[in-house]
Amino acid sequence: MARACKPLWLDAARCQRSIARQITDQGGDYLLAVIGNQPALLEAIQTDFIDQYQSEAVDRHRQAHKSRGRVVGQIASVLPRKKTV
């Protein structure tokens, strides 16, 4: 039986293993924003997913908007998990 997916979107400040574990322990799904302020995590993700990321089959969404006098660009990519990062 398929279950409803109700993912939580967490910003980079909340991108912590303990938070992700608590969400999954309670049966939830999550999306975490990973940026340069956690270099070890960012590198682990890039290393694990680099071959998949180059694929055209990866779902991507790009957007840019003005915020506080600057242009902010974001790219969201959806990749299957190969192993625990």
Q: Where are the domains of the chain?
A: 8-78
pLDDT the model gives residue 1 = 46
Helix/strand/coil for 72: strand
What DSSP string runs through 26-58? TT--EEE---TTSHHHHHHHHHHHHHHHTSTTS
Residue 36 has pLDDT above 80, yes or no: no
Please state the pTM of the whole predicted model.
0.45
Task: Give per-residue pLDDT as tens, 43-68.
Answer: 887 777 776 766 666 777 888 989 88
73 confidence band (pLDDT: 50, 70, 90)? confident
